[in-house]
Amino acid sequence: MNATNATSTAPQTQYLRLPGGTLAFDDTPGTGGGAPVLLLPGMLQDRALFRHLRPLLAAAGHRVITMDLRGWGESSIDWDDYSPASAAADAIALLDHLKIDKAVLVGHSYCGASVVRVAADAPDRVAGIVLMNAFIEKVPATAFEKAMVKTLGSAVLAFPKVWGYYLNKMAYPGGVTEEIAAYNAGLVADLRTPGRRKATRGQVFGDSAPIGWSTGVNVPTLVVMGSKDPDFPSPELVADRQVAALNGRKVMIDGAGHYPQAQFPQATADALLPFLKEVA
């Protein structure tokens, strides 16, 4: 996490050493008996994506843990696997490390699949899952869509400014604030870190929307989606499909793009808190 991504209220970084590398995370204690919450960021993001949401959840009484994915933020860069499945395994390892028996897992975008995988592999560890602007159970892409994804991924690898253009001009409908623009600039700079190309390739060319993972999952599920997410032709239809697949419920964040937790943190907290209270 770059200095430009830090906030004055950010908790101290901690580290979990695993056989393949080191994961960075932080752990914010809540003021009450609310369910612990583990927040997983999306593709090419770090845990500071939740910088505005984390204190709102903690103030409501929840212990809040945020984790940098393999290759990003303050986690080590060089890993053999950067897939959503690997993030699911890392989430379970972190819960073990923190001696948390059961938690609510929130997966944004790329990591929506990860929290579904945890719910399938270790349902006894999951009080509930939240899919936030997630790609799980996406309709199989057409040949044209696959070509477009490959082209965009190649462009991001070759020209990090392409990622900055998406973040600043598309991902936040209505425009970005100075604070969000500064955070985005840090993400673009991170793409230029020596060795980061491997991690970038591992994510942008990986399967971010595996089909069938939700089969057999039976835990409380909340789907949160920005109503103007540019990553989906029809965000509400995507949310409806996920709700049907996981027997969950949905909350649409009006006017939000792909990052409601940063763009509209209070509305996002208002969507999560009733769900967190129920599953606790």
Whole-number Å distance between alpha carbons of 151 and 279: 41
For residue 216, the model assigns a pLDDT of: 86
**Across residues 120-136, what is the average pLDDT?**
95
Signed CA dihedral, 71, 76, 81, 86: sign only: negative
Look up the pTM and report it. Answer: 0.93
Phi, psi of 103 (to 5 degrees): -145, 165
Residue 219's pLDDT band, with cuts at 50, 70 and 90, is very high
Poorest-pLDDT segment among 8-22, 37-51, 68-82, 87-101: 8-22
67 SS3 class: strand
What pLDDT does 70 receive?
Answer: 98
pLDDT at 61 over 50: yes
Per the prediction, the chain carries an average pLDDT of 91
Q: Check the CA dihedral 5-6-9-13 and report its sign.
A: positive
Dist. CA 85–CA 65, nearest whole Å? 19
Please, what is the Cα angle at 268 between 235 and 179, to 5 degrees? 100
